[in-house]
């Protein structure tokens, strides 16, 4: 079977032609305007898809389109109730809208759930029964596999792992609450902390690094730390603490076999993972006999979302 797997993000729509072995036969990308009416942005995606299908051929027919969508959505009806980072997406039936234009069957799932499905079926989660993936990006997303099945709560609206507390009445979160993990462990939070530190430390190497990068990015404090900058080091120490405490919560709540950490920040790779594991093992649930949860990097990189969205048709 061959399916289009599509991962809708705030910056771009990333798609692929995916075989049911997990192989990606072709990649494509469509621009995304997160402030646009969804009929415009997804309308453009529809036209792109139909043109793609007209101009490409494979050894099998395309069986359908799987969509990973950020936001609160109902998998059955296909309606996206709302999306924190896509302000004009309100009660938008994306399933119907894409089916009517492309004449292909469409299945939808939350974007973080799409990512965990991809890794679970074809990547770092393959050997586990209880597997969780945390995505550190603009926000903090979470996907949950329990007993070999996706768990995404009532009507597919659950698993908002980024919106559990780290600190009561703490930093303001996009969701309206204060103190959620997202406000501490997202790339956005890391950028904010970096900007704050740059203001109060004009002598920090962060300025030089951000000049080189052309912007204040979440990579900056990691690079500055490697060059010996104390300010960058402190930002990352704090970041590791917040993220690891959030992961300890997930361990205590779910006691999963493994947690994979994805998203831009996870590109820091094994050195970051090792620091997280060290922090966590010093503070693992204190009782004798508590099992250890493995902390891993994803294996499919940026493709886990599109592969996972396609996998809605495979299993």
Which residues are at the interface with its own copies (CB under 8 A)?
A: 71-72, 81-84, 90-91, 130, 142, 146-147, 149, 151-155, 157-161, 163-168, 170, 174-177, 241-242, 245-246, 248-249, 252-257, 283, 285-291, 293
119-141 burial, b for 16+ CB within 10 Å, e for fewer?
Answer: bbbbbbbeebebbbbbbbbbbbb
DSSP 8-state secondary structure symbol assigned to residue 290: P
Q: In terms of CB distance, is 64 or 70 closer to its own copies?
A: 70
Q: In terms of CB distance, is 149 or 274 closer to its own copies?
A: 149
> Is residue 271 within 8 Å of residue 309, measured between CB atoms?
no
Q: In terms of CB distance, is 198 or 258 closer to its own copies?
A: 258
| Smallest distance from its own copies to CB 176, Å | 3
**Run of H or E residues at 264:** none
Q: In terms of CB distance, is 45 or 86 closer to its own copies?
A: 86
Q: In terms of CB distance, is 50 or 157 closer to its own copies?
A: 157
Q: Assign residue 269 a region: left if phi > 0, alpha if psi is -120 to 50, beta otherwise?
A: left
- Which is it for strands 79-82 and 72-74: parallel, antiparallel or unpaired? antiparallel
| CA–CA dist 105, 76 (Å, integer) | 13
| Smallest distance from its own copies to CB 311, Å | 19
| Smallest distance from its own copies to CB 76, Å | 13
| Smallest distance from its own copies to CB 234, Å | 16
| Smallest distance from its own copies to CB 299, Å | 21
| Smallest distance from its own copies to CB 20, Å | 25
| CA–CA dist 168, 170 (Å, integer) | 5
61 exposure class (CB count in 10 Å sphere: 0-12, 13-18, 19+) = exposed
Q: In terms of CB distance, is 62 or 180 closer to its own copies?
A: 180
Tokens of 116: 């965990």
């Amino acid at each position: 079977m061959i399916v289009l797997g599509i991962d809708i993000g705030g910056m771009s729509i990333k798609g692929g032609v995916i075989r049911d072995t997990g192989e990606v036969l072709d990649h494509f990308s469509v621009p995304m305007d997160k402030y646009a009416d969804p009929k415009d942005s997804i309308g453009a995606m529809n036209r792109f898809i139909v043109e793609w299908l007209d101009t490409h051929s494979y050894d099998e027919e395309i069986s359908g389109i799987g969509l990973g969508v950020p936001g609160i959505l109902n998998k059955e009806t296909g309606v996206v109730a709302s999306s924190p980072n896509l302000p004009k997406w309100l009660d938008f039936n994306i399933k119907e809208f894409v089916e009517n234009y492309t004449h292909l069957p469409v299945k939808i799932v939350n974007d973080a759930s799409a990512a965990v499905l991809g890794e679970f079926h074809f990547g770092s989660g393959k050997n586990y029964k209880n597997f969780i993936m945390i995505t550190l990006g603009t926000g903090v997303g979470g996907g949950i596999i329990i007993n070999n099945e996706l768990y995404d709560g009532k009507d597919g609206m659950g698993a908002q792992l980024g919106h559990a507390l780290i600190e009561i009445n703490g930093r303001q979160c996009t969701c309206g609450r204060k103190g959620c993990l997202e406000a501490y462990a997202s790339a956005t939070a890391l950028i904010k902390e970096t900007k704050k530190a740059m203001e109060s430390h004009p002598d920090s190497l962060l300025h030089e690094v951000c000049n080189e990068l052309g912007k204040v990015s979440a990579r900056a404090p990691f690079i500055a730390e490697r060059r010996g900058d104390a300010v960058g080091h402190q930002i990352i120490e704090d970041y590791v603490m917040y993220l690891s405490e959030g992961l300890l919560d997930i361990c205590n709540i779910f006691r999963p076999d493994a947690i994979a950490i994805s998203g831009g920040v996870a590109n820091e790779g094994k050195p970051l993972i090792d620091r997280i594991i060290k922090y966590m093992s010093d503070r693992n649930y204190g009782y004798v006999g508590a099992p250890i949860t493995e902390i891993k990097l994803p294996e499919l990189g940026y493709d886990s979302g599109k592969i996972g969205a396609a996998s809605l048709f495979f299993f």
